[in-house]
């Protein structure tokens, strides 16, 4: 059975009786058991996956109504809650936390008969870019296991790339869906802020983050967005977007569309030669597809990484204050402690990167410093929004490589937090402005993937998918070697 298939192909095959849901899910679990010791995409598996598959087969056989997903296997980042299952955020502080409720996105998948394979690895609390900050060990890149898979949704991206499921849900605060999508050669979407419910996503920086689908193909991504997008009374930040069909006109093409090539992201110092060359080739592809491309400058971009870390650390400091070792799973012996020392001691369970963010998050918004840091960061955000809105008066899409570099070796950058942060340079703009952005696998050079990023105006996902699909038709990506 070929596990390297798209969701849409899988659904056709199940409908035509080529295999049962149970057969496909069993084969997927066998694959996980065989290779995940090497890849470490998963933190936990869903014990009832086979049972869930059997129930869907039963519905198919007895001609009952079957949900749109027909049992395709999907993994979920381990910062998204599912009732009765561990949700660790790859942190020791949530080692024993069992979620008491299910995220809206997972409910929507279950309602449409998707089968959840398990929970995937991430940088602790989604803070990082390599999964090296997971408290449970890093995920490996299926293209070369000596290299990082990107992050923070590295487990999600690797699970899709290594055929350990057909799709995954990640979360993207500053690039965490798109970056690992680029590093592992899968499609990753960060939707418009408010398009997908965050109910049940453990917050890192809730004013800018979104859950996003990660898939093998652009069409699958649109299919999945159809299932999970839409207003939710449990998340007041969700928008009523009248649920357009993201898939039905996806082959429309981009003839006559105007594309702005973001100058600051394509001429930055940190851009590698390989990524720069791939970007130039992709511009030719876009022109070949009938679009016109020209450079556009958003002069605030050089300040965005600093603003992003100021804003996200502030929100993280507040969001993570709730982990006091009283309510969320981890239990420390209380004998010999008074209240404050007990809380302080239990919070040493956070790893180094999360601790760094919490300390920063206490400092930058504090009374004596807010004007210098937090309020300035908010001004950068407002200015960036106005610049990008002006750009969208003229252009249908903005493009840039998703990441300035290809995947790198483990340990290469972990001791240098600022260098790591600068790798978010091309992705944070979409988060700070709330715009939708997608990473499309573009090429594989020296055995390592490169993804191209397309950004569209708010709620223009339908058009964004058309551009992404058009670009995808121009690419040939080899099979993952694992
Ligand atoms: N690397 C960024 C950070 O550490 C992005 C993380 C994310 O999108 N969750 O904040």
pLDDT score of 329: 67
pLDDT score of 330: 63
Domain membership flag for residue 16: yes
Question: In a mutational test of the pocket of ligand 1, which residue from 193, 204, 313, 419 has the highest number of ligand atoms less than 8 Å from its CB?
Answer: 204
Q: How far is the CA of 284 from the centre of ligand 1 (A)?
A: 31
Q: How far is the CA of 428 from the centre of ligand 1 (A)?
A: 9
Radius of gyration for the chain, computed over Cα atoms and rounded to the nearest angstrom: 21
Length of the chain: 482
Domain extent at residue 208: 7-251+437-448+460-472
**Residue 173 CA: which ligand 1 atom is closest?**
8
Q: How far is the CA of 131 from the centre of ligand 1 (A)?
A: 11
Domain membership flag for residue 238: yes
| CATH code, 240 | 3.90.1300.10
**Residue 153 CA: which ligand 1 atom is closest?**
9
Rounded CA-CA distance 288/282 in Å is 10
H runs (alpha helix) in 162-199: 178-184
Question: What residues does ligand 1 touch, defined as CB less than 6 Å away?
Answer: 126-129, 152, 172-176, 204, 312, 424
Q: How far is the CA of 352 from the centre of ligand 1 (A)?
A: 15
Report which protein residue has its CA nearest ligand 1's atom 10. 127
Instruction: State the distance between the two ends of the chain, measured CA to CA, in whole angstroms.
Output: 16
Domain membership flag for residue 464: yes
Q: How far is the CA of 128 from the centre of ligand 1 (A)?
A: 5
**Closest CA relative to residue 172, chosen from 152, 148, 194:** 152
Cβ neighbours for 34, distance < 8 A, ≥ 6 positions apart: none
Domain membership flag for residue 465: yes
H runs (alpha helix) in 260-322: 263-266, 273-288, 304-319
Taking CA atoms, 249 is separated from 22, 23, 253, 363, 459, in Å, by 32, 32, 9, 48, 16
Question: In a mutational test of the pocket of ligand 1, which residue from 171, 418, 424, 432 has the highest number of ligand atoms less than 8 Å from its CB?
Answer: 424
Domain membership flag for residue 375: no
The active-site residue, picked from 75, 176, 197, 458, is: 176
Q: Are 402 and 178 in contact (CB under 8 A)?
A: yes
Q: How far is the CA of 176 from the centre of ligand 1 (A)?
A: 5
pLDDT tens track of the chain, all 482 residues?
Answer: 999 999 999 999 999 999 999 999 999 999 999 999 999 999 999 999 999 999 999 999 999 999 999 999 999 999 999 999 999 999 999 999 999 999 999 999 999 999 999 999 999 999 999 999 999 999 999 999 999 999 999 999 999 999 999 999 999 999 999 999 999 999 999 999 999 999 999 999 999 999 999 999 999 999 999 999 999 999 999 999 888 999 999 999 999 999 999 999 999 989 999 999 999 999 999 999 999 999 999 999 999 999 999 999 999 999 999 998 777 866 778 888 898 898 888 899 999 999 999 999 999 999 899 999 999 999 999 999 999 999 999 999 999 999 999 999 999 999 888 889 999 999 999 999 999 999 999 999 999 999 999 999 999 999 999 999 999 999 999 999 98
**Residue 128 CA: which ligand 1 atom is closest?**
4
**Residue 204 CA: which ligand 1 atom is closest?**
9
Phi, psi at 414, each rounded to 5°: -65, -30
Q: How far is the CA of 451 from the centre of ligand 1 (A)?
A: 17
What's the pTM? Answer: 0.98
Omega within 30 of 0 (cis) for the link into 329: no
**Residue 176 CA: which ligand 1 atom is closest?**
8
The active-site residue, picked from 75, 77, 119, 134, is: 77
Question: In a mutational test of the pocket of ligand 1, which residue from 77, 126, 149, 209 has the highest number of ligand atoms less than 8 Å from its CB?
Answer: 126
Number of structural domains (the chain) is: 1
Domain membership flag for residue 161: yes
Domain membership flag for residue 313: no
Q: How many alpha carbons fall within 13 Å on the CB side of residue 93?
A: 25
Domain membership flag for residue 264: no
Q: How far is the CA of 276 from the centre of ligand 1 (A)?
A: 23
The active-site residue, picked from 6, 91, 134, 152, is: 152
Q: How many alpha carbons fall within 13 Å on the CB side of residue 434?
A: 16
3-state DSSP of 90-129: CCHHHCCCECCCCCHHHHHHHHCCCEEEEEECCCHHHCCC
Question: In a mutational test of the pocket of ligand 1, which residue from 127, 183, 313, 402 has the highest number of ligand atoms less than 8 Å from its CB?
Answer: 127
**Residue 171 CA: which ligand 1 atom is closest?**
9
349 is written with which tokens?
A: 């369970």
Element of type H or E holding 260? strand 258-262
* Residue 458 appears among annotated catalytic residues: no
3-state SS assignment for residue 283: helix
**Residue 428 CA: which ligand 1 atom is closest?**
5
* Residue 197 appears among annotated catalytic residues: no
Give the residue carrying structure tokens 């453990």: 202
pLDDT score of 86: 95
């Amino acid at each position: 059975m070929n596990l390297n298939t798209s969701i849409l192909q899988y659904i056709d095959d199940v409908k035509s009786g080529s295999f049962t849901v149970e057969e496909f899910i069993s084969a997927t679990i066998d694959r996980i058991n065989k290779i995940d010791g090497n890849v470490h995409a998963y933190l936990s598996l869903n014990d009832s996956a086979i049972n869930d598959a059997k129930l869907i087969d039963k519905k198919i056989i007895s001609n009952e109504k079957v949900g749109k997903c027909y049992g395709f296997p999907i993994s979920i980042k381990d910062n998204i809650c599912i009732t009765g299952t561990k949700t660790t955020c790859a942190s020791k502080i949530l080692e024993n936390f069992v979620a008491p409720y299910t995220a809206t996105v997972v409910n929507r998948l279950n309602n449409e008969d998707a089968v959840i394979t398990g929970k995937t690895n991430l940088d602790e609390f989604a803070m990082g870019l390599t999964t090296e900050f997971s408290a449970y060990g890093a995920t490996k890149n299926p293209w070369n296991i000596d290299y990082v898979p990107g992050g923070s949704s590295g487990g999600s991206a690797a699970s899709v790339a290594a055929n350990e499921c057909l799709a995954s849900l990640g979360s993207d605060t500053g690039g965490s869906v798109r970056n690992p999508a680029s590093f592992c050669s899968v499609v990753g979407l960060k939707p418009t802020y408010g398009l997908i419910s965050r109910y049940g996503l453990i917050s890192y920086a809730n004013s800018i983050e979104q859950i996003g689908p990660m898939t093998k193909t652009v069409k699958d991504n649109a299919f999945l967005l159809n299932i999970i997008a839409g207003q939710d009374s449990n998340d007041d930040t969700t928008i009523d977007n009248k649920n357009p069909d993201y898939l039905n006109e996806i082959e429309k093409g981009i003839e006559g569309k105007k594309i702005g090539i973001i100058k600051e992201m394509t001429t930055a110092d940190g851009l590698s030669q390989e990524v720069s060359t791939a970007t130039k080739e992709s511009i030719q592809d876009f022109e070949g597809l009938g679009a016109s491309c020209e450079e556009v400058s958003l002069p605030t971009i050089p300040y965005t990484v600093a603003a992003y870390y100021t804003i996200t650390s502030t929100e993280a400091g507040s969001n993570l204050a709730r982990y006091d070792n009283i309510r969320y799973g981890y239990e420390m012996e209380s004998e010999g402690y008074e209240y404050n020392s007990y809380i302080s001691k239990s919070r040493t369970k956070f790893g180094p990167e999360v601790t760094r963010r919490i300390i920063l998050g206490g400092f930058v918004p504090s009374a004596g410093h807010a004007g210098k840091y937090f309020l300035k960061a908010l001004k950068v955000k407002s200015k960036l929004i106005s610049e990008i809105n002006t750009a969208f008066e003229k252009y249908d899409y903005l493009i840039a490589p998703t990441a300035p570099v290809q995947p790198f070796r483990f340990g290469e950058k972990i001791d240098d937090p600022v260098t790591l942060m600068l790798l978010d340079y091309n992705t944070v703009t979409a988060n700070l402005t709330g715009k939708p952005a997608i990473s499309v696998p573009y090429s594989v050079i020296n055995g390592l993937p490169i993804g191209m990023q397309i950004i569209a105006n708010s709620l223009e996902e339908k058009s964004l998918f058309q551009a992404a699909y058009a670009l995808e038709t121009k690419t040939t990506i080899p099979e993952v070697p694992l």
